[in-house]
Structure 1
Amino acid sequence: MADFLGLMKQAAELKSKMEALQAELDQIEVEGSSGAGLVTIRVTAKGAMKAVRIDPSLVKPDETEVLEDLIVAAHDDARRKAEAVLQEKMQGLTGGLPLPPGLKLF
């Protein structure tokens, strides 16, 4: 019975830590870029897009496809960085236990 109570206490502590981590991830922002920094996108560690910056030299009516591709690439870069931050934070929370690939907790 003591093991069960200990397990319940650990589960409650983990839940509390997860809630704190979720709040922290909303505050952490990472920036991704493409085109040697001509396009940058800032996202939270949870992946919410916060800002897009486009160098004025890219704003040409006949080059919209290039701009669109750079925006997608910058967003992918930012998302990868956000996922890396999330994995790092989760490893700290789970005591270094590896999470299965693709496991989405948020």
Structure 2
Amino acid sequence: MKDLLGMMSKLKDMQARMEQLQNELEATEVEGVSGAGMVKVTLTAKGSLKGLSIDPSLLNPDEAEILEDLIIAAHADARTKGDRLIQEKTQALTAGLPIPPGMKLF
């Protein structure tokens, strides 16, 4: 019974820390770049788009497809950084808990 109460206490503590982490990730921004920095995308670590910066030299109507590809690449770069950040913070939060490998909490 003592182990069960201890586990319940740990779970409650982890739940509070997970809520705090969720809020922190929503406030943390990551930046993705492409085209040697000519296109920049800013996302929250959770994936919400916060900003887009395009070098004026790319605003040629004849090269719209290139610009579209660069935006997509910058977004993917930022998303990868956000996912990596979530993984690192989640691992630190759940260290020592018996969670099966590969189980995603977010």
1:58 corresponds in structure 2 to 58
Deviations 1:44-93 (A, max 9, x none): 11111100000000001100000000000000000000011111111110
What secondary structure sits across from 2:43 in the alignment? strand
1:32 corresponds in structure 2 to 32
CA distance 1:60–1:67, shift in 2 (3 Å)? same
The Cα of 1:27 is off from its aligned counterpart by 1.1
Instruction: Output the TM-score relative to the length of structure 2.
Output: 0.92
| One-letter amino acid matched to 1:78 | A
Question: Matched residue pairs, number?
Answer: 104
CA distance 1:73–1:98, shift in 2 (3 Å)? farther
- 2:100 and 2:57 mapped to 1: Cα distance? 44
User: Are the counterparts in 2 of residues 91 and 98 from structure 1 also a CA contact under 8 Å?
Assistant: no
- 1:66 and 1:80 mapped to 2: Cα distance? 21
Instruction: Output the TM-score relative to the length of structure 1.
Output: 0.92
Is 2:49 aligned against 1:45? Answer: no
Gaps of 5+ in 1: none
* CA RMSD across the alignment: 1.6
The Cα of 1:98 is off from its aligned counterpart by 7.8
User: Are the counterparts in 2 of residues 45 and 83 from structure 1 also a CA contact under 8 Å?
Assistant: yes
- 2:28 and 2:90 mapped to 1: Cα distance? 14
